[in-house]
Amino acid sequence: MAARNSDTTTMPRTTRPTMDDVARIAKVSKPTVSRVLSGSPLVSAETRERVLAVAREQGYALNRHAQKLRRERANAIAVVLDFGSHRQGAIGDPFIFELLAGISEALSVRDLDLLLSPSGLDTVEGFVDLHRSRGADGFIVLGQGARDALLRKVARKDIPMVVWGAVSDASGYCAVGSDNFLGGRLAGERFLSFGRRRWLFVGNRQHEEIRLRFEGLQAAARTGQNIEIEVLSIESMAFSAVHDQAHAYLKACTERPDAVFTFSDTAAMAVIGAFNAEGHLTPRDYSLIGYNDIPPAAHFTPSITTIAQQTGVAGALLVEKLMQTLDGGRPRSAMLPTRLVARQT
């Protein structure tokens, strides 16, 4: 009889072995064990035999019901972008790609595929059809945009979904995001500390996140005296669209703003460029605060004061919340720490 491999350690009889135990002893990943036990052709014959031998030796009992559920899954997650908020569907904001990178990494660890913004997801039926046809096990929506009502309807269909955006107990779905109201209030408090009185808010308040930022800005203004807030409601989040609207606004206004709060750092850069063309300079003539703290904000000239979100953990947290939903849980929404990063503007 062949000698038993010295690396194989038998579990105590009183301990019920788990898939993690099999993976550790066989020196493979847990997803590899899952593939072997589900009969996946993606595993080499040598690895399959080793894993099965360890499973038999350890007395690992395969949960047939769980295996059936795994086989019925698509092993793919659909990530839905807010193309409607950008001109001709062109999304160029680095913030979105930071979120995507975190999500992609978290999905790859779990051996799940990422399906990027499938078509037809502008209706409840689109979400339902893709899920029921096993095209995607669940959805991660990046940005509520003006779709909050749609997303609430999707949630009522018991479609597994997690949303990056404004966190609200009334939404009916799990969301991960910053404290947008606090972000707006922090911006306003900074303007007050510099004695600024004519504030411009740049953003579309039909978006839940942006509406909350504006309300936070208003709350700060109410603590000051003689504060005026004007709103530049943009038609598209694209850089060129923001630049053009900001330039047209400044040329037409009779009293220029001495403080500007934009919905993103990318929009802040567009405003700076547009205002520079008319000789209205930050920080000389106005204070400016963006949102998101994307890497270019710190290296822009002048460097941009902004509201920071913990983007580095956001992607992994979105995936973790969705996995909890797929496993039958009801994860709570999560509010990430929100702070002001003071720079030159």
- Across 6-10, 118-122, 238-242, 275-279, least confident range: 6-10
Q: What are phi and psi of 68, to 5 degrees?
A: -60, -40
Same domain for 98 and 219? no
- Claim to verify: residue 60 and residue 111 sit in the same structural domain: no
Q: Residues 112, 140: one domain?
A: yes
pLDDT tens digits along 19-58:
888 889 999 988 788 777 766 656 788 888 898 888 888 7
Q: Is there a single domain that holds both residue 207 and residue 303?
A: yes
Average pLDDT over the chain reads: 86
- As a whole number, mean pLDDT of residues 299-307 equals 97
Better-predicted residue by pLDDT, 248 or 13: 248
Same domain, 322 and 278: no
Domain total in the chain: 3
What is the CATH number for 239? 3.40.50.2300
Residues 242, 155 within the same domain: no
Both 247 and 212 in one domain: the answer is yes
Q: Angle of helix 265-276 relative to helix 239-252, nearest 10 degrees?
A: 40
The whole-model pTM stands at 0.75
**66-75, 168-177, 196-205, 234-243: least confident range:** 66-75
**195 and 224, same domain (yes or no):** yes
CATH assignment of the domain containing 40: 1.10.260.40
Domain boundary residue among 47, 72, 97?
Answer: 72
Query: Residue 321: inside a domain, yes or no?
Result: yes
Instruction: Tell me whether residue 13 is in a domain.
Output: no
Q: Characterize 104-129 residue by residue with b for buried, 16 or more Cβ atoms within 10 angstroms of its Cβ, and e for exposed.
A: bebbeeeebebbeebeebeebebbee
Domain extent at residue 148:
76-178+311-336
Q: Within this chain, do residues 59 and 113 fall inside the same structural domain, yes or no?
A: no
Q: From CA 35, how far away is CA 75, in angstroms rounded?
A: 12
